[in-house]
A and B are shown apart, each in its own frame.
Chain A
Amino acid sequence: MKEYELVSGLETHVELSTKTKIFCSCTTQFGSEPNTHCCPICIGLPGTMPKLNRQAVRYAIKAGLATHCTINPIAKMDRKNYVYPDLPKAYQISQYDKPLCSNGYIELKNGRKIRILRIHIEEDAGKLVHERGDTFVDYNRGGVPLIEIVTEPDIRSIDEAIEYVEKLQLIMKYIGVSDVKMQEGSLRCDVNISVREKGSESFGTRTEIKNMNSFAFMQKAMEYEFERQVDLIENGEQVIQETRRFNTDTGETAPMRGKEDAHDYRYFREPDLVTIETSKEEIEEIRASLPELPEQKRQRYIETFGLSEVDADILIKYRKVAEFFDEAAKAVGNPKTVSNFIISQVFRTLPTDAEKEAFDVRITPQSLIELIGLLESKKINMNVAKSTLDKMLQTGKTPDQLIDKNDMGGVDANTLTAICQKVIETQSGAVQDYKNGKEAAFKALIGGVMKETRGKADPMQATEILKSLIG
Chain B
Amino acid sequence: MSTDTDDAPFAESEETPFTDIDLGWEHRKNRIFLGIIFAASMFGVVMLALLLLDVVTDFYRGQTEFGISLIDFFTRDGSRRQELAGFRGAIVASVMLMIFTAILAFFVGVGSAIYLEEYAPDNRVTRLIEANLANLAGVPSIVYGLLALAAFVNGIGLGPILLAGAIALALLVMPIIIVSTQEALRAVPDSMRNGSYATGATKWQTIRGVVLPAAMPGIMTGTILALARAIGETAPLIMVGALFTNRIAWGPFDRFSAMPTQIYNWAAEPEPHFIHLAATGIAVLLAFLFAMNGIAIYLRNKYERDL
State whether these chains interact: no
B residues within 8 Å of A by Cβ? none
A residues within 8 Å of B by Cβ? none
